[in-house]
Amino acid sequence: MTIPLSSISEGLKAKLQIINGGRQLRTRLAALGLLPGTEVEVIQNSGKGPFVLSVRGSRIVIGRGMASQVEVEQA
């Protein structure tokens, strides 16, 4: 079962499954290393402000709109 990345709590890990967006969003996320099958850890998800992820040892900041279009499976 997949859920939006934006609903994952801080400190938890998840595996990307599907990006529900257009080509531009998929290209942007791919450039950041966010591809289906990639494991991420949510560093900051306070409900306000930036959404911060750890991906392959790097911290990435994405908007909440982007995070809500990424479907993940909680690890």
Q: What is the pLDDT along the chain (75 residues), one digit of tens a residue?
A: 999 999 999 999 999 999 999 999 999 999 999 999 999 999 999 888 889 999 999 999 999 999 999 999 998
Alpha-carbon gap, residue 10 to 8, rounded angstroms: 7
- At 17 the pLDDT is 98
Question: Does the reported pTM lie above 0.85?
Answer: yes
Q: What is the pLDDT of residue 43?
A: 97
SS (HEC) of 1-70: CCEEHHHCCCCCEEEEEEECCCHHHHHHHHHCCCCCCCEEEEEECCCCCCEEEEECCEEEEECHHHHHCE
Structural domains in the chain, sorted by start: 3-74 (2.30.30.90)
**φ, ψ at 55 (rounded to 5°):** -130, 115
